[in-house]
Structures are given as structure tokens and as C-alpha cells.
A and B are shown apart, each in its own frame.
Chain A
Amino acid sequence: MAIDQQSAPPPLAPGFPSRRMQRVAVDLGSFIVTLCLTFLGLMAITFFIGRVIPIDPVLSVVGDRATQAQYDAAKIAMGLDQPLWQQFISYVGNVLTGDLGRSISTGRPVAEDLARFFPATFEMATLGIIIGVALGVPLGVTAAARQGSWLDQAIRVVGLLGYSVPAFWLGLVGLAIFYARLQWVGGPGRLDIFYDGLVEPVTGMILIDALIRGETDIFWNAVSHIILPASVLGFFSLAYIARMTRSFMLDQLSQEFVTTARVKGVPERIVIWRHAFNPIRVPLITVIGLSYAGLLEGSVMIETVFSWPGLGSYLTTALLNADMNAVLGATLVIGAVFIVINKVSDVLYRVLDPRAR
């Protein structure tokens, strides 16, 4: 039963924005300030860690047969002879202008690389988390509502599998069954080879780009390729989300206000979804957010098995080649993802929990 949430605002002089607008503006201002500070902190940490690890970025550029003179010249050209704080300031300046440096292993600017690799990961992770939430939450709620039943046991076994099965094994078995034998899905890669490069990237996410261009057969081909790796990722987040949902729900179902609802004669379905589930949305958002952020880092295992050109494999290759510009760039993106997801959860908390307003 909805009852009007807002009482009438007090009258204000004409020409002044309402108090609610003022509050929103203040909230937004503090939001942006904290966001900038967090980013600065993130840049500082990635930068200094990048500089203290015992990898010589100069050596990886000039190779180990270079003379001392060539080495020194390269070092000066890369700006590594300057004091650390000056390097940091020029690094921050470069990042702000969108210049993340050039990757040694790909030879392209890191920003350009990230614009190619991150959308691939983003697409797969988003689909994965959608699968994980759409199945994991109802499974967790069902398991808690029927605690101790065979259904609960079955769901717990699924959860346990999600914790203990290695990702690469599940990926390979999935490919062997659904691609090689049943031919229900596409194989490794984002598209069949003859569709490759036909869609001009707009967002970099093939599903969306194909829809924008109206290329439905490319869209369905991309779906057939992404569905298996996304399901494997979805299964792992499902296992985690279902497990957490179950334990949050059990906690709520033993609360007094759930008994109150039953005393009122409320049907069990409403007891479970309105009275027990609604209060757990806030902790659940934390779990889902962290799980999503984890997927957005890119899973090296899944990306390798499915030849998926994503952030995880890009970062791993960069690390192995001592490609510090690429490593710092990718780390920055991952850090930014965590910050954004945290901020979004903060906003959602306030919407969902009246106590946090």
C-alpha cells in the first residue's frame, strides 16, 4: 500500500531552487570530490607500486644487448631519470589528457588497447553477472525458504561446485559438449571468422554494435559465441550469490518482524519476498557489486580457454613482458571499475534502505 512519501516542501522565494535541489547539488558535489580524491589515491598507489617492483622497464624496451649509452638514452627518453615525484606529476598530467603511454608488446597507445580489450570483458562480465543474479538470487531465496529440504541440499551442492570446480576445466568441458559435440554454441573467439571485422566498433561491444548497425545475423553469431563463456562466469557468480542470499535470508526469516507478518495472516510468498527479502537487498547489492567487479577484472582462465581478447589476458601478457605502461593503464581501469561500482552501490543503499537516508 503506497502512502505518499513526500510531504509538501515549504514555500520558497521565487527564483531560488528548491531545498531538495540544493541537497541534491550538495550531495553531487561531495560525490565528485570524493570520486576525484579516490582516483588520485588510486593513481598514486598503482604508480609507486609500478616503480618499486624489480622490473626494469628500460631493459624491456632496449633489450639486454643494448650498450650502456643506448640504455641511458632510452632512460632519459622515457623520463625515468627524473625524481619520482616529478615522474608522478607528469604521469597524472598525462592520464588526465588521456595519454597512458605506448604499450611495448602491442606497439599501440595503451588507451587504444584498453578501448579494444575492455569492452570485450565488459560485455562478457555483464552477461555473466546478469545470469548469476537472475538465477542465484531466486535459488538462494528458495533454499532458505525450504531450509533442510532436498531442494535446499541440491542448491547447496550447486553452490559448492561453483566454489570447487576450476574455471578452465568447466570452460573446456563446456566447449567439448556444447560446441564440439552438440554444436549448440559458437566456438572460441567473439565471432565466426568470416564475420570478423565486419562491424565497425562504436562501443566495442559486438552485441551492441551489431544492433546499432542492424546486423541481426552478426548479433546472433556473437550471442552464440558469448553465451558459453558468460554462462561459465555466471555459474561462478551464481554459486557465490546463491550462497550469500541463502544465509542473509535465513538470518531475516528468524527475525521477529517476519513472525509479525505471519501473525497478520500474510501469505507465505509475501512473507518471504516482501518481509524477508526486501531488507536484504542492501547487503545483497554489496555482494553483487563485488562479484561484478571481480568479473570485470577479466578472468584470465576463461579468456584463455575461449580465446577472448579481454582485459585479463591483456594484463597478464603485459605483466609477463614487463610492459609497465600497459600494466598501469589496465590497473587504473580495474581500479576505476571498483570505484564506480562502489559509488553506484552507495546510491542504491540510500534508495533501498530508509535507515541510510
Chain B
Amino acid sequence: MTSPLLEVENLRVSFPTHSGRVEVVKGLSFTLGRERLGIVGESGSGKSMTGRSILKLIRKPGEVTADTLRFDGIDILDQSEKQMRAVRGARISMVMQDPKFSLNPVMTVGEQIAEALVTHQKLGRREVQQRILDMLHAVRINDPERVAKLYPHEVSGGMGQRIMIAMMLIPEPELLIADEPTSALDVSVQAQVLDIIDDLVTRKGMGLILISHDLALVSRYCDRILVMNAGRVVEECAAGQLEQAQHPYTRGLLAAMPVIDETRDELPVLDRTQWAGT
């Protein structure tokens, strides 16, 4: 059996506050192959922090510890900042939440995508140009020559997020973390963006961690789901078996989802006394 792409065991992330250190991720464990893993949970459940600690992006005074945090045999926590830079972008990449804030406002789209590529590979100018245009084409941008010259404020949210995906996938990483990639977008373009991610991830045989608070969306695009609450995993199941989830938190979340044609007058509210929650 080949070793998994990513192994996480007992991951803890903590930040100091006035009343001592607060753990936002409390002993998370999972393994990931070249598959699509969904992490769902409410705001503050620690899902984004999990994504960032895999890239070692938690900055001081935040602190990350783990019994194992291994990516393709590399111990992430052991890597120096310089060694990490060779991993970031090139081997593990992350699509951020809102293209309005996550793209540099004073660089053109083309320059930003080029930067992701040339940071890791020495390529000729013409080749870089060609790779950018191909990549923009791959994220279904029809006139890549024109778009490459635009600034982020000149593109729509959906296009911005496709540009983000192009930028993060152009060095051909093996693992993509998508941190709420569609929560800043209109519902009408959410599916489009996720289809693009899904298509590229499948085609290149990459691993995907899709972080979201949208259960339906995650169960549609992932093979396996982790449900997080208050820094812990409360449920792990295959995407198709979400309906059979056992944990009261997951059941509560599922019960709170409205269904078309239903006749409930009120959606139930989570009853947090049922489990050892916050």
C-alpha cells in the first residue's frame, strides 16, 4: 500500500489571548490520498486554520503542534521557512475565499499568475505567456489575452475566482486546498467555479480539500466528509452516507437544511446541549 498524500495526526492550533492560550483546532486527525475531502463546520470551528496549518501559514503568535503532519513523506513542521516556500504553490496550493481581497489590486491578472509560475520554474518569457493563456483557457476564460492585461477591479467575482484557481493550479501542485472558494460568489456562478475545480483536480489526479460550511455542496463535490465543531472532528463519513450520519451535531445541521416542497413552518435550531460542544 502506498503511503497517503497527507497524514495529519493530533493537529492542534492555538492562539494566546488575555485569558491564556485558546486552542482553535483540538487534536485533528485524518489522512488524505489523491481524493476529494470535504471539511464542513460552522464559522470558528477551525476548518480554515486546519487548511492554513497544512501550508504552515499560521504566523506568530499562533502555534501549531501535531504528532504527525506529513505531506508526501515530508514533515511539514520540521521544514524551514525556505524549504516551505518550495512546497507552497508548487506542491500544495490554496484557493482563497474572496477574489476581491485575495488578488493584488495593483498587479495585472497576468503578472500575478506569472508570478506563481516563475517563482518555482525558470521558464522563457514566451513559454510563461503561453502557459498563462492555456491555464486561463482551462478555467474557461474565453479571451485570455485580454483578461491577462486586466486589473482585479476590472473583473467580476466569478471571473476573479477562476483567475485565482488558474493562479493556484498553474505550477501543477499535488494538493489543492480550497478554503470556502464560493462563499463570496453569487449562487449562479458557484456551481460553475466548483465544476472547474472538480474537473481540473480529477484530470490531474490531485488531492483536494474543500473547506466549506455548505453541507450539500460538499457532499456533491467530495468523496469523503469531515464534520468539524469547535476544533474537533465530530463525524467522518463517505459523502454518499451523509444521510446516515450519527452525531447529533451533524444530524442537527442536516435537519436545519430546508428542502424544496417541504411544509415545515420553522426550521429547527441546533440544540447544543446534546453533545459536549462549546
Contacts and interface: CB of A to CB of B under 8 A. Distances in A.
Contacts of B93: 263-264
A265 B164 CA distance: 15
Contacts of A163: none
- The CB with the most chain A CB atoms within 10 A, among B86, B94, B104, is that of B104
Interface in B87-106: 87-90, 93-94, 96-98, 101-106
Interface stretch (B116-124, B192-200, B222-230): B116-124
B114 interface: yes
Interface residues of A, number: 27
B106 to A, nearest CB: 5
Contacts of A263: 55, 57, 88-89, 93-94, 96, 168
B128 interface: yes
B62 to A, nearest CB: 13
A251 interface: no
Nearest to B128: A1
Given A3-B148, A262-B88, A354-B151, A257 B119 contact: no
B115 interface: yes
A3 B144 CA distance: 12
B101 A256 contact: yes
B251 interface: no
A353 B98 CA distance: 21
Contacts, number: 95
B106 A4 contact: no
A265 B103 CA distance: 15
A345 B212 CA distance: 44
Contacts of B148: 3
Contacts of A279: 104-106
Contacts of B114: 1, 3
State the main secondary structure of chain A at its contact with B. Answer: helix
Nearest to A355: B153
B167 A264 contact: yes
Contacts of A34: none
Interface in A252-270: 255-257, 259-268
A354 B101 CA distance: 16
A151 to B, nearest CB: 15
A7 B88 contact: no
A246 interface: no
Interface residues of B, number: 42
Contacts of B103: 257, 260
Contacts of A275: 104
A30 interface: no
A279 to B, nearest CB: 5
B161 to A, nearest CB: 12
Given A256-B98, A257-B101, A259-B102, A264 B119 contact: yes
A4 B57 CA distance: 34
Contacts of A4: 149
A352 interface: yes
Contacts of A257: 101-105
A164 interface: no
B65 interface: no
B82 to A, nearest CB: 9
B120 A268 contact: no
Interface in B49-107: 55, 57, 81, 85-90, 93-94, 96-98, 101-107
A4 B118 CA distance: 18
Contact of A5 (B90, B128, B149, B168): B149
Contacts of A274: 107
A86 interface: no
A90 interface: no
B108 interface: yes
16 contacts: A1-B114, A1-B118, A3-B114, A255-B101, A256-B102, A257-B104, A261-B104, A262-B88, A265-B90, A265-B171, A266-B89, A278-B106, A279-B104, A354-B108, A354-B151, A355-B151
Given A1-B115, A264-B168, A278-B107, 4 more contacts: A256-B96, A256-B101, A261-B104, A278-B106
